[in-house]
């Protein structure tokens, strides 16, 4: 596995030099943040990212995310222009040495939580999803802004988007995804890049918006849309694993054996009785997932893709971007590295 760590660019309070100090750290997962969704990333911005990462002694070869414009997801006539931009971004990232691109196909909102600073028993804070809190949220009314969401949406834009999505169903979304993949996967193949779709987080419909990358049956369907190794997966254990209806171990075994997992997001999550969930420390006993079992499956299938610790709690007084502090993610990285080393030695 290639251990990596997400970094939000120069404005990230977590410095590259600190990421470099995490044992076994290899790659920085980042993106160009100065360009609106759907536009072409400038070669200068890409080169600057590469230079910053390499100057810190780390590797720039994986990007998360190149976001997909809503017009592509909605299948609007303007999608072709945005798909051409997307193809150009793939080519430019390839020129800079990138080998893997993570993206998602979630309508409107990226990952959704109902609270970002829930205090856990040990005094740390974590991101949580409580059903009763969600029922009180209305994205179209109220000053609702969460870091997983694009804050550039104005209320009117959101209303228009919800209106657009009310006119398409899941099958239409599947069709729009297929249209997109058929245009970008050949470019990825020519560019020696693998695409890795992130599952929907959480993996069920939210606010009436359709979600399709949600579990095994749908991921099987996704992989067949364009049957190429370049059309692959990011398996996010906390996203797919936050509902008991997904057998996360079976999915990791199956898709890693098929060589279709290019990127792993490894984190733990505690599933509550009513289907709500809390993000927890990476250590297995802190949540509902068996992290050793996950790493064992990857090791058995000789996983050579990228892997990063995912959201961490806020601990030791750290403040910053919820889910993306340094300390708890660094603990997660070390824990994962420890398991991986042991799996290699205790044969
Ligand atoms: Mn993830």
What are the structural domains, with CATH classification, of the chain? Answer: 2-107+170-345 (3.20.20.150)
Q: Are 177 and 221 in contact (CB under 8 A)?
A: no
Average pLDDT rounded to a whole number, residues 117-122: 92
Reported as a pLDDT band with limits 50, 70 and 90, residue 157 is confident
Q: Which residues are designated catalytic?
A: 198, 236, 265, 310-311, 324
Residue 130 pLDDT greater than 70, yes or no:
yes
Ligand 1 center to 192 CA (angstroms): 23
Ligand 1 center to 238 CA (angstroms): 7
The rounded percent of the chain whose pLDDT value lies above 70 is: 97
Ligand 1 center to 227 CA (angstroms): 23
Residue 293 pLDDT greater than 90, yes or no:
yes
Structure confidence by residue, pLDDT tens digits, 221-273:
999 999 999 999 999 999 999 999 999 999 999 999 999 999 999 999 999 99
Protein residues within 5 Å, CB atom, of ion ligand 1? 236, 265, 310
Q: In the prediction, which pLDDT does 146 show?
A: 60
Peptide bond into 65 cis (omega under 30): yes
Average pLDDT rounded to a whole number, residues 302-308: 98
Residue 286 pLDDT greater than 60, yes or no:
yes
Ligand 1 center to 310 CA (angstroms): 6
DSSP 252-268: HHHHHHTT-EEEEEE-E
Q: Are 295 and 343 in contact (CB under 8 A)?
A: yes
Q: In the prediction, which pLDDT does 271 show?
A: 96
- For the chain, give the mean pLDDT: 94
Ligand 1 center to 105 CA (angstroms): 13
Q: Which stretches does DSSP call E strand in the chain?
A: 2-6, 27-30, 59-64, 100-104, 115-119, 125-129, 194-198, 231-236, 261-266, 268-271, 277-280, 306-309
Distance from C-alpha of 275 to C-alpha of 266, rounded to nearest angstrom:
20
φ/ψ of residue 113, rounded to 5? -130, 160
Structure confidence by residue, pLDDT tens digits, 65-84:
999 999 999 999 999 999 99
Ligand 1 center to 237 CA (angstroms): 7
Average pLDDT rounded to a whole number, residues 139-155: 64
Ligand 1 center to 243 CA (angstroms): 15
Reported as a pLDDT band with limits 50, 70 and 90, residue 86 is very high
Ligand 1 center to 111 CA (angstroms): 8
Distance from C-alpha of 154 to C-alpha of 208, rounded to nearest angstrom:
19
């Amino acid at each position: 596995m290639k251990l990596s760590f997400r970094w939000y660019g120069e404005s990230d309070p977590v410095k590259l030099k600190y990421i470099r100090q995490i044992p076994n750290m290899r790659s920085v997962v980042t993106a160009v943040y100065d360009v609106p969704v759907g536009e072409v990333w400038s070669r200068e911005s890409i080169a600057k990212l590469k230079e910053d990462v390499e100057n810190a002694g780390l590797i720039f070869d994986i990007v998360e995310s190149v976001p997909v414009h809503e017009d592509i997801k909605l299948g609007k006539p303007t999608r072709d222009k945005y798909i051409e931009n997307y193809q150009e971004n793939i080519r430019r990232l390839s020129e800079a040495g990138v080998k893997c691109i993570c993206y998602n196909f979630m309508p409107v909102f990226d990952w959704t939580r109902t609270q970002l600073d829930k205090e856990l028993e040990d005094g740390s804070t974590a991101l949580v999803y409580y059903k009763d809190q969600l029922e009180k949220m209305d994205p179209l009314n109220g000053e609702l802004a969460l870091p997983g969401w694009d804050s550039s949406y104005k209320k009117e834009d959101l209303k228009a988007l919800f209106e657009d999505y009310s006119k398409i169903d899941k099958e239409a979304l599947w069709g729009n995804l297929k249209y997109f993949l058929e245009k970008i996967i050949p470019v990825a193949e020519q560019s020696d890049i693998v695409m890795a779709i992130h599952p929907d987080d959480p993996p069920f419909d939210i606010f009436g918006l359709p979600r399709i990358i949600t579990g095994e049956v749908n991921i099987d369907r996704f992989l067949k849309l364009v049957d190429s190794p370049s059309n692959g997966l990011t398996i996010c254990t906390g996203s797919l694993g936050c509902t008991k209806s997904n057998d996360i171990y079976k999915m990791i075994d199956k898709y890693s054996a098929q060589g279709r997992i290019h990127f792993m997001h490894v984190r733990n999550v505690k599933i509550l009785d009513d289907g709500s969930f809390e993000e927890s420390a990476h250590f297995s006993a802190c949540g509902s997932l068996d992290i050793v079992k996950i790493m064992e499956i990857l090791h058995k299938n000789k996983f050579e893709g990228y892997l990063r610790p995912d959201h961490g709690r806020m601990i030791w007084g750290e403040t910053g971007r919820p889910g993306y502090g340094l300390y708890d993610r660094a603990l997660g990285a070390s824990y994962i590295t420890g398991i991986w080393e042991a799996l290699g030695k205790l044969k």
